């Protein structure tokens, strides 16, 4: 492998690692926020019955956001290899 191809491969690997790390951080932040909301709802119940919507709404919003972000990464223009 010549040095130019080696540099290109190393750069591509570094970019892929950076993208993976960025996605991992955002998914972790979203999951932490989701768990905090659920903990707050459950913690505020204190023996009373919890309204089902108080747990269903954050769960649905988190799931929709996660699926939407995944679809954006899969079919969106952000990480697509440009057509030559």
CB-CB contact of 55 with 38 (8 Å): yes
Q: pLDDT class for 6, splitting at 50, 70, 90?
A: low
The pLDDT assigned to 49 comes to 65
Give which of 33, 82, 81 is closest to 61, Cα–Cα: 33
Summarised one tens digit per residue, pLDDT across range 36-69 is: 887 777 777 666 666 777 778 888 888 898 888 8
For the chain, first and last CA: distance in Å?
Answer: 24
The pLDDT assigned to 26 comes to 77
Tokens 């010549």 belong to: 2
- Is the model's pLDDT at 35 over the cut of 70? yes
């Amino acid at each position: 492998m010549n040095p130019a191809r080696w540099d290109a491969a190393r750069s591509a690997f570094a970019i892929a690692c950076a993208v993976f790390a960025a996605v991992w951080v955002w998914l972790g932040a979203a999951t932490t926020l989701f768990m905090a909301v659920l903990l707050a709802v459950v913690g505020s119940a204190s023996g009373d019955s919890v309204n089902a919507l108080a747990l269903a709404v954050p769960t649905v919003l988190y799931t929709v956001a996660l699926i939407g972000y995944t679809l954006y990464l899969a079919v969106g223009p952000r990480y697509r290899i440009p057509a030559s």
